[in-house]
């Protein structure tokens, strides 16, 4: 069976199972006797093993099978959970994740057998190894007994209706065959193999008696064998047996011609009669199917029973009511919405240019309002589909902090809040690495040793906090710790040592300016290089990645008390509310989320600080930015008496952008400029206006 079509589903579900196992193993370390957690881990490991086996990834299957064996013994209270066992289990997860990463790249699991981990798992089982394998022995013995025991189809306690069905098939001139199918001992999906056998057999015959019934088979309520009776109009048994044997993980198929007189006498006749009356309709359907020729039989009995069996499963609890959607389909849908918004803007442009009040004018405006409602609703719906909780990113961090605690020999605890805060999918996919680095930075650089913490009167266990929440059109993610904080004096000296500033300049730097040195390329404060930090690839990468998403990062720190890194991210990168402005007949858009105020400033109110233009805005000194100079546009011939200033902010920084005219607020679609105009960081994109004009979108972060 070609399973390559299921590879994407396998990758997604395996990632979910790995995260589920990680979360529960973390919980098990804190509560080793929690049987609910143990059972959940066992179920996840079993599912992972089954999926790997179905896809043909034998190495992953072998590893998860041994991992499942350990949890089987833990579940049976034969093994007690210890820290060493937890370490081995996490090594298993890392190995499984390694397989998954190779599968993503090559569609194959690679050649690493992870023998050391498997040996460690078997070592855990060594104390009760015999007990662990004991239950399987009787089944093997039972299976390998004499041939008489293998003909189970003749030993079945058939009901009267089953016996009558066999008799009716013979009377209609059809041959009846009985089969017992034996599945390999290490088969993972017995039910799937059984139904594949049924499908193969139905190419030659009609199956009309199952033991156990299809519902029990679907629920895997049977051992390693199942039986059935099938009827054919003509033909031999060999092709049927060969077809059944082709199904993978089938050990043996036993079958022969069955005649009514060969059957054992029916037992429990009264019970059978009662059952007969309750299943009369089913018997009639069976009889009709058996009397058909293959040419006139459009459906199989198994199909109906299997459908009925599947119908019963609707009431089973649903673990996660989510639907996976290909991101490319969502992007296509977003593009359609973008075009719809452009069409709306075109109508609005026509309506503003319209003169007079003809009778059709009102209808025209009504249509615009209707279109605006539709596009707004559609936009919100699509955005909700694109928005995903950041939980998918931060869920792996508790495990990472646990490993760092052991590696760095520091006691630390991670506290997370706001995991359900939602962000655009494109933002969530790229925010994981920056957040991971900030957390590693807190664990390595931020938290002191246990001895130093006790000397300072702090708890021995350090605290790392990750907090996410929505603020307007932005999502704020804070990563902080109660550690040492940033020693600005040391950072200042490092900057002087590297020749970034002179000693005289360094003396006039503010705390924030000193901390900003940490975001410079290759500026590392690590005293030694480790696999945790200190390789010069640090906060500069964090900053560039966050700014590439349209966000920014700032730091607040107090020496001896701790630090906080505050990351601001836009909710979405596709459609935004913007203010359209004009600079010397050129149109520009500024994201509304960056604007704090719009001021009318008199020329006489402009002051100079270090030869730079500033204004005093309600007690705050705000530097002015003349966009015509920044954008290389010719200045106006005459300086007006009053200037229109758009006050924008980035964190605690503010700046005033001088523009010629305000054109109003509008919902705009962000279009990429492509690779040909990638050198201008001041411009983050462009948008198409209602009249077909192009407006460039200013990147406030770069301007600041």
The helix (H) or strand (E) run that includes residue 362 is helix 359-386
- Pick 655 or 677 by higher pLDDT: 655
Token pair belonging to 143: 């299976």
Q: Residue range 614-639: average pLDDT?
A: 85
Q: Is the pLDDT of residue 370 over 80?
A: no
- Pick 196 or 424 by higher pLDDT: 196
Q: Which residues are known catalytic residues?
A: 46, 68, 441
Average predicted confidence (pLDDT) for the chain: 78
Residue 646's pLDDT band (cuts 50, 70, 90) = very high
Which residues partner with 178 through β-bridges?
Answer: 229, 256
- Pick 546 or 130 by higher pLDDT: 546
Give the pLDDT confidence of 208-252 residue by residue, as tens digits: 888 888 888 887 888 888 999 999 987 788 889 988 888 888 888
Token pair belonging to 641: 């008496």
Q: In this prediction, what percent of the chain has a pLDDT beyond 90?
A: 8
The strand pair at 642-650 and 595-602 is best described as antiparallel
Helix axis angle for 280-291 and 160-171, nearest 10°, is 20
Entry field: residues in the chain: 704
Q: Residue range 68-96: average pLDDT?
A: 87
Q: Residue range 497-511: average pLDDT?
A: 86
pLDDT, residue 691, reads 80
Token pair belonging to 79: 């093994």
Q: Is the pLDDT of residue 128 over 50?
A: no
Q: Residue range 81-96: average pLDDT?
A: 88
> Alpha carbon 195 to chain centroid distance?
31
User: pTM to 2 decimals?
Assistant: 0.56
pLDDT, residue 572, reads 67
Q: Residue range 419-444: average pLDDT?
A: 85
- Do 616 and 601 meet the contact criterion of CB atoms below 8 Å apart? no
Residue 478's pLDDT band (cuts 50, 70, 90) = very high
Rounded Cα distance, 445 and 485, in Å: 9
Q: Residue range 308-312: average pLDDT?
A: 34
- Please tell me what DSSP assigns to residue 300: -
Q: Which of 239-253, 371-385, 427-441, 459-473 shows the lowest mean pLDDT across its residues?
A: 371-385
Give the pLDDT confidence of 538-547 residue by residue, as tens digits: 688 888 888 8
Q: Residue range 499-518: average pLDDT?
A: 86
* Angle, CA 417 vertex, CA 411 and CA 420 arms, to 5°: 135
Report CA-CA distances (Å) from 681 to 448, 631, 649, 702. Answer: 39, 11, 17, 7
């Amino acid at each position: 069976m070609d399973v390559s079509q299921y590879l994407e589903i396998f990758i997604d579900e395996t990632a979910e199972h790995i995260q589920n196992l990680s979360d529960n193993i973390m919980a098990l370390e804190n509560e080793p006797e929690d049987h609910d957690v143990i059972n959940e881990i066992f179920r996840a490991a079993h599912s992972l093993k089954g999926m790997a086996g179905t896809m043909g990834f034998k190495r992953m299957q072998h590893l998860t099978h041994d991992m499942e064996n350990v949890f089987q013994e833990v579940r049976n209270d034969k093994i007690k959970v210890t820290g060493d066992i937890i370490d081995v289990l996490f090594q298993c997860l890392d190995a499984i994740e390694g397989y998954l990463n190779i599968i993503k790249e090559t569609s194959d699991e690679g050649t690493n057998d992870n023998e050391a981990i498997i040996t460690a798992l078997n070592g855990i089982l060594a104390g009760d190894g015999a007990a662990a394998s004991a239950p399987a022995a009787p089944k093997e013995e039972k299976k390998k007994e004499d041939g008489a025991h293998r003909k189970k189809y003749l030993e079945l306690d058939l009901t009267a209706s089953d016996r009558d069905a066999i008799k009716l098939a013979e009377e209609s001139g059809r041959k009846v065959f009985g089969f017992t199918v034996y599945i390999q001992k290490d088969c993972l999906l017995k039910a799937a193999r059984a139904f594949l056998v049924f499908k193969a057999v139905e190419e030659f015959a009609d199956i009309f008696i199952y033991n156990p019934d299809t519902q029990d088979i679907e629920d895997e309520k049977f051992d390693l064998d199942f039986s059935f009776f099938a009827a054919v109009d003509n033909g031999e048994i060999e092709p049927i047996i060969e077809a059944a044997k082709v199904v993978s993980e089938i050990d043996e198929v036993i079958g022969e011609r069955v005649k009514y007189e060969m059957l054992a006498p029916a037992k429990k006749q009264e019970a059978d009669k009662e059952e007969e009356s309750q299943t009369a309709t089913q018997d009639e359907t069976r009889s009709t199917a058996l009397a058909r020729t293959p040419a006139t039989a459009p459906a199989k009995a198994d199909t109906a029973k299997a459908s009925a069996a599947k119908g019963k499963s609707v009431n089973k609890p649903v673990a996660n009511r989510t639907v996976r959607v290909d991101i490319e389909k969502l992007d296509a849908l977003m593009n359609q919405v973008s075009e719809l918004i452009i069409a709306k803007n075109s109508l609005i442009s026509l309506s503003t240019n319209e003169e007079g009040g003809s009778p059709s004018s009102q209808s025209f405006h009504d249509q615009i309002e209707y279109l605006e409602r539709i596009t707004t609703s559609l936009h919100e719906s699509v955005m909700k589909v694109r928005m995903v909780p950041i939980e998918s990113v931060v869920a792996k961090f508790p495990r990472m902090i646990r490993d760092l605690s052991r590696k760095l020999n520091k006691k630390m605890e991670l506290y997370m809040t706001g995991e359900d805060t939602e962000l655009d999918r494109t933002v969530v996919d790229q925010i994981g690495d920056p957040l991971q680095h900030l957390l590693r930075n807190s664990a390595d650089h931020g938290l002191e040793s246990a001895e130093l913490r006790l000397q300072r009167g702090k708890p021995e266990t350090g605290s790392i906090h990750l907090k996410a929440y929505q603020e307007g059109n932005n999502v704020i993610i804070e990563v902080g710790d109660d550690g040492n904080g940033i020693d600005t004096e040391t950072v200042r000296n490092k900057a002087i040592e590297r020749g970034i500033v002179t000693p005289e300049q360094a003396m006039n730097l503010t705390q924030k300016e000193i901390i900003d040195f940490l975001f410079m390329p290759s500026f590392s404060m690590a005293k030694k290089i480790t696999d945790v930090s200190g390789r010069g690839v640090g906060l500069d990468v964090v900053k560039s990645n966050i700014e590439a998403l349209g966000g920014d990062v700032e730091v607040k720190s107090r020496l001896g008390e701790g630090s906080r890194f505050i990351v601001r991210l836009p909710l979405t990168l596709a459609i935004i509310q913007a203010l359209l402005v004009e600079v010397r007949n050129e149109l520009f858009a500024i994201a509304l989320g960056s604007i704090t105020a719009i001021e009318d400033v008199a020329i006489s109110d402009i002051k100079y600080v270090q030869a730079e233009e500033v204004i005093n805005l309600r007690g705050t000194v705000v530097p002015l930015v003349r966009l015509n100079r920044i954008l290389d546009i010719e200045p106006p011939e005459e300086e007006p008496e009053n200037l229109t200033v758009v006050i924008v902010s980035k964190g605690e920084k503010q700046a005033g952008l001088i523009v010629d005219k305000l054109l109003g607020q509008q919902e705009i679609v962000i279009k990429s400029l492509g690779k040909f105009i990638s050198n201008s960081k001041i411009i983050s994109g462009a948008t198409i206006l209602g009249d077909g004009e192009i407006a460039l979108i200013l990147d406030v972060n770069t301007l600041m």
